[in-house]
Structure 1
Amino acid sequence: MTSLAPVDTALLLPMATHVALAALLYVLLTIARAPAIWGIGRRADGSNPWATVEPRISANLSNQFEWPLFFHVACVVLMLLGTHHAAIALAWFFVAGRVLHSGVQVLTTNVRLRGLVFTVNFLAVLGLWGLLLQRALAPA
Structure 2
Amino acid sequence: MSVMQVLLPVFVQVLLTFVLLFRMGYLRVTTIRSGEVKMKDIALREPNWMPRTLQVANAFHNQLELPLLFYVLTILVLITRQADIAFVTLAWIFVVLRVLHAWIHVTSNHVRRRAVAFMAGAMVLAVMWLLFMLRILFAS
Distance 2:59 2:92 in 1: 19
Alignment partner, residue 79 of structure 1 = 78
Offset at residue 87 of structure 1 (A): 0.5
Letter of the 1:106 counterpart: V
Identity %: 28
Aligned to 2:62: 63
Q: Which runs of 5+ in 1 are unaligned?
A: 1-6
C-alpha separation in 2, matches of 1:66 and 1:121:
12
> Counterpart in 1 of 2:122?
122
Aligned letter for 2:136? A
TM norm structure 1: 0.82
Q: Which runs of 4+ in 1 moved over 2 A?
A: none
- Structure number, greater radius of gyration: 1
Aligned to 1:4: none
Paired residue total: 127
Note the aligned Cα RMSD (angstroms).
1.9
Q: Tell me which residue corresponds to 1:3.
A: none
1:53–1:107 CA contact under 8 A, matched in 2 = no
Structure 2, unaligned runs of 5 or more:
38-48
The alpha carbon displacement at 1:120 in A equals: 1.5
Deviations 1:43-77 (A, max 9, x none): xxx547x9331101111111111111111111111
Decide whether the 8 Å contact of 1:81 with 1:135 is kept in 2.
no
